[in-house]
Amino acid sequence: MKTIAVIGGGITGVTTAYALAKRGFAVTLFERHRYAAMETSFANGGQLSASNAEVWTHWSTILKGLKWMLKSDAPLLVNPAPTWHKLSWFAEFIAAMPHYERNTVETARLAVAARKHLFAWAQEEGIDFDLKKEGILHIYRDKKGFDHAGKVSVMLAKGGLPRHAVTPAEMKAIEPTLAGTYYGGYFTESDSTGDIHKFTNGLAAAAARLGVHTLYGQDVTSVQSNGQQAVITVAQEDASPCVHTFDSVVVCAGVASRNFAAQLGDRVNIYPVKGYSITVNLNDEESQMGAPNVSLLDDETKLVTSRLGLNRFRVAGTAEFNGIDRDIRADRIRPLVDWVEQCFPRINTRSVVPWAGLRPMMPNMMPRVGQGKDANVFYNTGHGHLGWTLSAVTAEIVADTIVKTAEANKSKKFAASHLQTAVLTNN
């Protein structure tokens, strides 16, 4: 049985380990925290949102970033201090702009395929993760945003995702608790929401039942490969580093993937884009009645919402380009709380839990999925703000790639063996 190491116990690492175990591989999962899904997969926006497949590689993103640069509460904030990593990332971001439509269509196609796998796994494994299949409503406060959404909808349809325009009156019927004045909206009935942390931990338990050996509290410091074997080195507090050897390795390490890829001779130019969320505890009946059941995306503020069971309401968003920085800033959290109070005035915001995480984002906004320079090195990383939305299908893709690679290697060895036998026989 082929042995495979998976680095990273977030949503992409756990789905990858699960998909590989289902195919009969001996999988060892390395996670530096004590539990699965403790970083970017801990408290995201909760959306399984194929309707959010539009990539950011558009000139409007650059213009908005420049406009918002000096506003601490802006949805997109770029630290102007230059670094080579940041400059190279933005250069590649601009270079990817000609592929804006193609990548948007492909992302939508992947997202539609992903949810079929994810829902099937959840049902098969009995995972309760506060799933709500109520759709996602995109709301627009002006004609410009609404008209752009119409163009995006055409691209989403090419990727197999229908969504339709709705009037302000129809928006009110879809989500009666939403306050404010809006130009219009777009509604995607097939989208859904849930708790990524609950799902990831549930799937991690299912993977363990399938034989996945999960090593928590393991800080991987080095990954090496000679094309035949992969060597994983793990730091030990009071002892010499522990070294593990496997046939193959899959890097699913979020923002750390860039460093591991460099050790393996690959370039995976992931940049850590910080996002914030708040979880509002709905501790009274009035708040519970005043919180939305339908998930929202506010185009102007770039905030998304999800209702997590009866007692929790999640609001998330913002994008901050500031390197490896997990600090939770009050001036970035305050706009999220203000938005809740404006749009859902019946919600009591006395109990709010803030959080920040780093999205692993590629310059072209497409995940890095597949084989590396060495035949036994693979990647499933760089999903940006759509990690949960895409994770199930990219896990299936990388698992299928590993199966094909293993079969190709077997065929090569078989052919070489027969050739050697033939040579010996002829001699």
Per DSSP, the three-state class of 404 is helix
Q: In the prediction, which pLDDT does 412 show?
A: 67
Q: How far apart are CA 52 and CA 191, in angstroms?
A: 10
pLDDT string in tens for the chain (427-residue length): 599 999 999 999 999 999 999 999 999 999 999 999 999 999 999 999 999 999 999 988 888 777 777 777 888 888 888 899 999 999 999 999 999 999 999 999 999 999 999 999 999 999 999 999 999 999 999 999 999 999 999 999 999 999 999 999 999 999 999 999 999 999 999 999 999 999 999 999 999 999 999 999 999 999 999 999 999 999 988 888 999 999 999 999 999 999 999 999 999 999 999 999 999 999 999 999 999 999 999 999 999 999 999 999 999 999 999 999 999 999 999 999 999 999 999 999 999 999 999 999 999 999 999 999 999 999 999 999 999 999 999 999 999 999 999 888 776 665 555 445 545 455 5
CA distance 386 to 391: 8
d(CA 187, CA 172): 12
d(CA 398, CA 242): 27
CB 364 within 8 A of CB 85: no
pLDDT score recorded for residue 406: 87
Nearest CA-CA partner of 36 in 259, 218, 231? 218
- Residue owning tokens 């506003």: 71
Using alpha carbons, select from 115, 132, 114, 127 the residue that is nearest to residue 207.
127
Q: Given this model, what pLDDT does residue 420 score? A: 55
Residue 207: predicted pLDDT: 98
* Burial letters 249-265, b for 16+ CB under 10 A, else e: bbbbbbbbbbbbbeebe
CB 254 within 8 A of CB 269: no
For residue 33, with 0-12 CB atoms within 10 Å meaning exposed, 13-18 middle and 19 or more buried, which class applies?
middle
Domains observed in the chain:
1-45+195-269+366-427 (3.50.50.60), 47-193+271-361 (3.30.9.10)
The structure's pTM equals 0.95
